[in-house]
Chains A and B, each alone.
Chain A
């Protein structure tokens, strides 16, 4: 007479080696290969840290790919210790593995004992839908989208460049966006600063930008800094961000942020605009030149067009902001050729792009040195700083 299912299980368990979760926990990292034989859905909820996954139905066909050595120490587990018992017999009897154990009580007992489990990161159903066009790109995919969601990007300025950049980075699912701007929304901003609205004229720009981002993508956390960047607050604000997006409207802060970014090793995606022309580059400390390698000193105030209000084609910061956002996403994903050591000029009237080489200056006052040696007092300082600020009023 054929045995009942329960009887068969008892027979099998008497033929194989079983091991208690406590012993498996002690052996973690000792060379034993832990194999989870449950179904995909079960594995993706939680599994033992470092466990390999071979659903029992694929055991015979896939185990050799994961454990080619027949004498390797293998610990199998499932939810409660039954499926892994059957699997242990298969490996031992049918495939000739010599050192196979089945963990009693499965991951249920493992968890009851209070041992850690790894919860693999996935996207929610809504996120899979929202980012579906990213997920279709092999260069982004699930891994890339998770990188974007984990990324922390600091936007300096929520104005002409910051507004479009923030919109697209938020749409792309960049998980943390820091916004530094101490200005309020003015009607004259709306010709180009598309993140703000007529209803929010007079409100702080960081609040207005936050409101738009909240409506666009609930995955994005906005961190607001309604301050003017200066030497006293810059380190505190910048530290911890992965990438800085420089859309600042003045020279002293551009030099300050350069020096801080070199000291902290944070890449800066930098753009500037005037009239119909834009400039764009990525300053990645020690991989390429820094801002000071490109422009050792700023123009004096009387020749610095940024010191007063200037005309700018409303579309231009959109174009340059999009190029900035693209570079940010590339840096986060680690894909493509970042604009490091290159300066891209866009001239809207002529509809021309020009690429210029930017080299590291071996005599650069900042990035030719060890970052540790850059002192607080030096940062943001340039030879005629005093004169510059006095003249700029």
Chain B
């Protein structure tokens, strides 16, 4: 299952500037793991021991995975996963 992951500005230093990545996986957790394989530095920015860091939201098709099945949420071919940390700039 190839899905597109959208990377926010503040995490792009860890992706060599890439704004999107195409990765394989059947669940959100697998998609993120595949993403960390591509961009090792991302893991620390997004995840901690217990799963996702609490200030990072992950959406699939516009829905927050916290209100779906968390990291177990299944993804389909062509889905778009958005990683979104809080931003306070004004």
Could you list which residues of chain A lie within 8 angstroms of chain B, going by C-beta atoms? 157, 159-162, 246-251, 254, 271-277, 279, 294-300, 303-306, 310, 312, 317, 343, 345, 347, 349-350, 354-359, 361
Contact = CB atoms under 8 A, between A and B. Distances in A.
A61 B84 CA distance: 64
A345 B55 contact: no
A291 to B, nearest CB: 9
Given A277-B8, A303-B45, A298 B90 contact: no
Interface hub of A161, A343, A350 (most chain B Cβ within 10 A): A343
A358 B86 CA distance: 13
B82 A157 contact: no
A306 B88 contact: yes
Interface string B43-54: 001000000011
B24 interface: no
A248 B62 contact: no
B87 A359 contact: no
Given A277-B9, A358-B64, A161 B57 contact: no
A75 B26 CA distance: 78
The secondary-structure label for the interface of chain B is mixed
B10 interface: yes
17 contacts: A160-B90, A272-B88, A273-B87, A294-B86, A295-B86, A296-B55, A297-B54, A303-B45, A303-B55, A304-B88, A306-B89, A317-B90, A350-B19, A354-B82, A357-B59, A357-B67, A359-B67
A356 B82 contact: yes
B88 A254 contact: yes
Contact of B55 (A159, A248, A274, A295): A295
A296 B66 CA distance: 11
A55 to B, nearest CB: 54
Interface in B11-40: 19
Contacts of B89: 160, 249, 272-274, 305-306, 310, 312
A25 to B, nearest CB: 55
Contact of A248 (B6, B19, B56, B90): B90
A246 B88 CA distance: 10
Contacts of A246: 90
A305 B57 CA distance: 16
Given A295-B86, A303-B55, A306-B87, 16 more contacts: A159-B90, A249-B88, A272-B89, A275-B10, A277-B9, A277-B87, A279-B84, A279-B87, A298-B86, A299-B56, A299-B85, A299-B86, A304-B88, A356-B63, A357-B63, A358-B64
A345 B19 CA distance: 14
Nearest to A310: B89
A276 B10 CA distance: 10
Contacts of B85: 299, 303
B76 to A, nearest CB: 18
Interface in B68-90: 82, 84-90
Contacts of B19: 347, 349-350
Interface residues of B, number: 25
Nearest to A306: B88
Nearest to A352: B6
Contacts of A272: 86-90
Contacts of B56: 299
Contacts of A304: 88
Contacts of B57: 294-295
Given A277-B8, A359-B64, A247 B84 contact: no
B55 A247 contact: no
Contacts of A254: 88
A298 B63 CA distance: 20
A338 B67 CA distance: 22
Contact of B9 (A161, A275, A357): A275
A357 B55 contact: no
B43 to A, nearest CB: 13
Nearest to B10: A305
Given A356-B82, A359-B67, A276 B9 contact: yes
B15 to A, nearest CB: 14
Contact of B90 (A249, A349, A350): A249
A157 B9 CA distance: 23
Contacts of A271: 90
Nearest to A156: B90
